[in-house]
Amino acid sequence: MAAGIITLTSSTFDETVNSSSTPILVDFWAEWCGPCKQIAPILEQIAAEMPSQITIAKLNVDDYGDIAGRFNVMSIPTMILFDNGDVKTRIVGAMPKGRMVQELTPFLPASS
C-alpha cells in the first residue's frame, strides 16, 4: 500500500475508524476492480496533499466481505467518509480528483 494509506482488516476496522483524529475515508475495493485501480493514485495524492485534514484507508472486500456487508457496499469502488465513527458521506464509483475533493470538502476541517 502507498505511503499515507492505511490497510484495514476486520480486526482493525472499528478501532481505526473510531479513533482517527481526522475524518477517515475508507475505500472499499478489490484487486480485480478496474475503477478501483483508477482511483488508487487519486487517493494517494489526496492522502499526501491533505494529511492534516483526512486519513485514507483501504479495505479489500474480497478479504473482508463482513465489513462491506455491514455498510451495505453493493458496488465498488465505494468510499465512505467517517468522522468520529459516524458515516458522513458515501461516494460510489470512480471520479476525477477535483470532483472527489469537492465531494469531501464539506465534511473536512479547514486546512491548517
Please give the positions annotated as active site: 33, 36
Please report, in angstroms and rounded to a whole number, the separation of the first and last CA atoms in the chain: 26
Residue of 67, 83, 56, 54 whose CA lies nearest to 2: 56
DSSP string over 8-66: P-TTTHHHHHHH-SS-EEEEEE-TT-HHHHHHHHHHHHHHHH-TTT-EEEEEETTT-HH
Question: d(Cα 43, Cα 84) in Å, to the nearest integer?
Answer: 20
User: What would you measure as the largest C-alpha separation in the chain, in angstroms?
Assistant: 37
